[in-house]
Chains A and B, each alone.
Chain A
Amino acid sequence: MIPKKLFGILLFLALALISAQLLSGICLFIFKYGLSPSEVYLYFAGDEEKFIMPKSIEGLLETAVPHFFAISTTIFVYAHFLLFTAVISSKQKQFLIIGLFLTALIDIFSPFGILYGYKIFAWLKVISFWSFEFLMGILLYTLFVANFQNSEYQASE
């Protein structure tokens, strides 16, 4: 049998670590692409006058492919703990899980649309990225709360 308190400590530290990882992702997004959709568009589509080269399909795949693995694994590992909590309702859990995967998918696929000259995908990239981070924030906050409300948390045994 898993000691509940020890499991709680492990989960708390894992949540703190993934929060730091998310923060590094946010910083990377801001420093690499910028905050506005026009900056994001410029980064991917390039600009001859400003001597910015457009990104290649290979370059986009190099980022997209590891992210398919990393984001899906992160959501799966952390969101599966939701199933053992009663902090939010079942409908809210469904909304959160669907929202996380959908925003992640749009975020990863958007640069390909930008590469073909569609500016709308720069907006989609920005909106989906911040929505994903916001939903991850909700997920982690929910798990933090559930972890502290020990009675509501059922460690898998």
Chain B
Amino acid sequence: MKFLVSKDIHSNSNFTLLLGFYSLMMLFYFLGDVIYLLNYFGTSVSNVLSTLKGDPDNFIEPLSLLSLLEHLHISLFLAILALFTTMAIVLRIKLTHTHKKIIIILSMSSLLLSVVCLVGTYFVHIAFVYGLIIFELSWHLLGVYALSIIIYQVWIKKP
């Protein structure tokens, strides 16, 4: 069996077209997910805490364990798929080894730590909320950064 796709992603125009549009759609996913999360948890530390732990003064019920698990289960699956495929492309684009390493390690471990902080905020201590916000923003921003480089390389300025 002979596949037409080359190891070099820049040498096949159809492949760069495919990668470009895939990255564009993924870019919308990463940006859309930030908006969704801001809408789901709130836009400030106090909002996130009242969503997760409730706020008796404002008659806000805490998020049920079942809702938290459902949110975690679905969002984590989507995030893994989006980030893993994006980083698989990052491995093949023209960047320095260190640059690739930083993007991959920081983004993937930020996603992992955001899960830890979400569970930590809910079960352990409210201080984890800062980690949750920082790591959620980090993996989204790194994803957007990586996808922007991919789009730039496959469509705008081919190295």
**Which A positions have Cβ atoms within 8 angstroms of B?**
1-3, 6-7, 9-10, 13-14, 16-18, 20-21, 24-25, 27-28, 31-32, 66, 70, 73-74, 77, 157
Contact = CB atoms under 8 A, between A and B. Distances in A.
Given A3-B100, A31-B66, A74 B91 contact: no
Nearest to B115: A20
A102 to B, nearest CB: 21
Contacts of B115: 17, 20
A9 B101 contact: yes
B92 A24 contact: no
Interface stretch (B36-44, B103-111, B130-138, B146-154): B103-111
B88 interface: yes
Nearest to B71: A24
B112 A20 contact: yes
A27 B69 contact: yes
Interface stretch (B10-18, B46-54, B75-83): B75-83
Contacts of B105: 9, 13
Contacts of B111: 17
Interface size class of B (residues with CB under 8 A): 20 to 34
A157 B8 CA distance: 10
B69 to A, nearest CB: 5
A17 B7 contact: no
Contacts, number: 67
Contact of B80 (A6, A9, A18, A27): A18
A7 B91 contact: yes
B40 to A, nearest CB: 16
A10 B73 contact: no
B73 A14 contact: no
Given A20-B76, A74-B77, A13 B108 contact: yes
A157 B7 contact: yes
12 contacts: A3-B97, A10-B91, A13-B108, A13-B109, A14-B84, A17-B80, A17-B108, A20-B76, A21-B77, A28-B73, A31-B65, A66-B74
Across chains A and B, which 8 residue pairs bring their CB atoms closest together, nearest first?
A13-B108, A24-B73, A28-B69, A21-B76, A24-B72, A17-B80, A14-B84, A2-B91
Contacts of B104: 6, 9-10, 13
Contact of A13 (B69, B77, B112): B112
B67 to A, nearest CB: 11
